[in-house]
Chain A
């Protein structure tokens, strides 16, 4: 058995991989101090144990979660896995260990440090994905809706349903620059694919007009006598402004390079 005080797991970054870490932890009766990704730089002081992803192991763990602590807990750790919380892997493992011990009530242990920290991380994720449902701005290029975002959390999986229901007959793409991923949709199917970079074409005349109309509306709707930039900032932090049309919108770059992504959109 490894010495607990300096044991590190390294996994492949997948959800299944993480569940295999949980398996390992139970199998070997040990608790790692850290769970790291393949490309994390290595500290020689600690023992790094490679955890191989084995679908048989992970599906055993997966099946046991709703059984032992309910579907809410499973749903919860799936969301926790999408957060930008740096120690999410370790905390998910610790959370599951609590869940195996206490059963369903793990979801009500809100004052427990492990549970509390994960709840906060998930709340941050939920907040961000909720805000982005409103703040995403599409431009229309050859009748395809294209948007860019730079979220902290990996929110795309949480936005799929919303935008598919909003635009069932459209073809659209939301590019998450932070994670190098894009949500693409065409009637009636969606996928999240990996994309290196996205360069947007110049807007055509109609697109340009609607951008300007929106900017005009945005500027006019403010009641000057109640100007309150602090309040605006607290509801809509500045980091979201970059891609919002009302603040000048997406910075235009060189000509269209949509071909790479268009093949997912054009049947």
Chain B
């Protein structure tokens, strides 16, 4: 089998992994080396599905001894198998890197023989890259659940980021669909990596040249919609992972049916992209906007509103928080206004030092007035002649098409009925407008 066939098979098998960023660390090559990394991350291309391509994302091998039901590489699946040799992979990476196709390598793998053997293969590929080619670019490697911690430690010294994929958000789902894995086998390496990162950071303070262990931190991903776990459970778990395990990112991946199995959604199920999208929005709110999971969802509201992004939804529930004086409100409060994002909030804080801001100034600063106007005042004023009705606010927050669908689902019988927006719709309408769904995930809300 030549390298073309291998690349095809091992890319195809890796593409469902959603982590793609090359972010989290700044560094440059030492003399005689090649490669650098930028903390903000660099996208080198975008694939036809609109996702950023930053790293050469491949598997070491798609041979797998495990049989996770949701995975294309599961043992029982009849699919062509291939493995890179460590040298082939290193050479491919360095040659792509020299041509500026990629920012580095994202290496994952099926379980060949056993977790330790697989990890040894990965370590060898990375050793060639780092030692022989003196490669200083970005490397993200997956820790295979069940690997000996000694090997994880070795792998960690060669990588910038590591991840252990949770995949299924609860122990019961794992038991059902990934019989070879357990909550413990996933969380143990995560905890181990976290501890090593912490130890290492004190070493680096003590000895300036101490080699760095996973300097860009760790991440994980979860599959959405393969199991009955609710948005609330997933978001809570996400928050816990940021707090307890100090993860840098949690990624979500709408389940693409890849297997016929009574335990899984049927093959003709469309992936719940809108849920994935809402989870990313909520994740963004946790990481950059100072929200907590419990503010966005709770026991009684376990699913996101398909019509409204979580921030607008929160705002409509907390009208007593508004209107807010943009010339006075602290940064953290500004972030809670629909139509004001991180950038525009920062600009407001800077610009109001030298002038009292008016509505048309806000526009220049990038505020989406169409949304924000209902929630703010400028120098005591609200926008001219604005009559606030619930429907007006809704109109400003949704596209026309979405609003139409919203009215269809919630007929305008009475004001009280309208407020049922805040309850969960009985089911998700199928033809949900694409433009609302597919607004790309990297953009802030």
A residues in contact (CB < 8 Å) with B: 102, 105, 108-113, 116, 130-131, 133-140, 145, 147, 162, 165-170, 210, 212-214, 216-218, 220-232, 234-236, 244-246
Contact = CB atoms under 8 A, between A and B. Distances in A.
In this complex, the interface size class of chain B, counting residues with CB under 8 Å from chain A, is 35 or more
B56 A225 contact: no
Q: Sorted from nearest, which 4 A-B pairs have the closest CB atoms?
A: A231-B50, A111-B361, A110-B351, A165-B28
A213 B29 CA distance: 26
Given A138-B100, A166-B29, A226-B271, A220 B43 contact: no
Contact of A222 (B38, B47, B101): B47
B98 interface: yes
Given A166-B36, A244-B45, A245-B101, A216 B438 contact: no
Given A110-B351, A223-B16, A234 B440 contact: yes
Contacts of B351: 108-111
A105 B49 contact: no
B50 A230 contact: yes
Contacts of A226: 49-51, 256, 271, 273
A228 B439 CA distance: 10
A170 B100 CA distance: 13
19 contacts: A105-B353, A111-B351, A111-B355, A111-B361, A135-B44, A145-B99, A162-B38, A166-B35, A168-B28, A169-B32, A213-B7, A213-B96, A223-B15, A226-B256, A230-B50, A231-B440, A232-B46, A236-B43, A245-B99
A242 to B, nearest CB: 14
A213 B49 contact: no
Nearest to A220: B11
Nearest to B16: A223
A165 B31 CA distance: 10
Given A110-B347, A140-B98, A213-B4, A134 B42 contact: yes
A215 B153 CA distance: 35
Contact of B350 (A108, A131, A224, A234): A108
A105 B352 CA distance: 11
Contacts of B440: 231, 234-235
Nearest to A217: B11
Given A105-B353, A165-B28, A228-B49, 20 more contacts: A109-B355, A110-B351, A110-B364, A130-B40, A134-B100, A137-B100, A138-B99, A139-B99, A166-B28, A166-B35, A167-B34, A168-B34, A216-B11, A218-B47, A218-B53, A220-B12, A224-B49, A226-B271, A234-B440, A246-B45
B8 interface: yes
Nearest to A228: B50
A223 B53 CA distance: 12
